[in-house]
Structure 1
Amino acid sequence: MFQQIIPAFLVGGLLCVIGQLLMDLTKPAFTPAHVLVTYVTGGAILGALGLYGPLVKFAGAGASVPLSGFGYLLSKGAIEGVGKRGLLGAFSGGVEAAAVGIAAAVLFGYLVSITFNPKG
């Protein structure tokens, strides 16, 4: 059990530390939105180059749950889509691979928005 938990904790924690350092050391230029875009884009690029897959195998959820894991999933789906459907698969494959996560984010975001009232 600890052989899975320790790498996930270390890699996931390192990704969080890097994002926090980017925001703290580059204020006000690097906002949380910049970190989001950088991590998703970085995960997609590293996934397309074949460099993020070994990290996911090593760290499991520590590498697949953060935003960079979402980018990796999009790139992996796009690559598989190209293999199945050609150029059109490049556009549909990523969304198809991430459909469950996207649907869950929309559903839970909606449930939270109707459950809680924002401060005025």
Structure 2
Amino acid sequence: MHYINAFWVGGLICALVQILLDKTKLMPGRVMVLLVCAGSVLSALHLYKPLVDYAHAGASVPLIGFGHLLFQGVKEEIEQAGILGVFTGGFKASAGGISAALIFGYLASLFFHPQMKK
């Protein structure tokens, strides 16, 4: 059942974002910033954690889940280190995922030889 919940929740998030891209004149970069900020705000309002508990990767993998991750990291670090946690919490919480993306992206470029569009 976890797979089904992850599939439909993640698919719904992606479909809503695609509708937002298609029906507005917002550029993709602005939509990405909007998603990260929305994840942070929903996490601050305690609305996103129940969705992550229900859908697991379906809610944590989309970009809105990155905002949730950043907020949770900052919140935990503030509890441990005080106000300095505002600056360090997001980095500590997201370091593993960002490092993996950089390493696997580099490895993929070694195997697939990317080229610039002409």
Q: Give TM-score, length-normalised by structure 2.
A: 0.90
Once the 2 structures are TM-superposed, how far is the Cα of residue 43 of structure 1 from its aligned partner? 0.6
Once the 2 structures are TM-superposed, how far is the Cα of residue 109 of structure 1 from its aligned partner? 2.4
Report the counterpart of residue 106 of structure 1 in structure 2. 102
Which consecutive residues of structure 2, in runs of 5 or more, have no partner in the other structure?
Answer: none
Aligned residue type for 1:74: L
Report the counterpart of residue 7 of structure 1 in structure 2. 5
Quote the Cα distance in structure 2 between the aligned partners of 1:57 and 1:25: 30
Between the two proteins, what is the percent identity of the paired residues?
Answer: 50
Q: Report whether the alignment pairs 1:69 with 2:70.
A: no
Once the 2 structures are TM-superposed, how far is the Cα of residue 110 of structure 1 from its aligned partner? 2.3
Once the 2 structures are TM-superposed, how far is the Cα of residue 114 of structure 1 from its aligned partner? 4.0
Report the counterpart of residue 117 of structure 1 in structure 2. 114
Quote the Cα distance in structure 2 between the aligned partners of 1:106 and 1:31: 24
Aligned residue type for 1:67: L
Report the counterpart of residue 19 of structure 1 in structure 2. 17
Contact residue 48 and residue 79 of structure 1 kept, 8 A: no
Quote the Cα distance in structure 2 between the aligned partners of 1:13 and 1:81: 32
Q: Report whether the alignment pairs 1:92 with 2:111.
A: no
Quote the Cα distance in structure 1 between the aligned partners of 2:63 and 2:34: 9
The number of residue pairs the alignment matches comes to 116
Quote the Cα distance in structure 1 between the aligned partners of 2:30 and 2:75: 25
Report the counterpart of residue 36 of structure 1 in structure 2. 32
Q: 51, 56, 64: which is aligned to 1:55?
A: 51
Aligned residue type for 1:19: V
Deviations 1:23-67 (A, max 9, x none): 1111xx212212211111111111122111000001111001110
Q: Give TM-score, length-normalised by structure 1.
A: 0.89
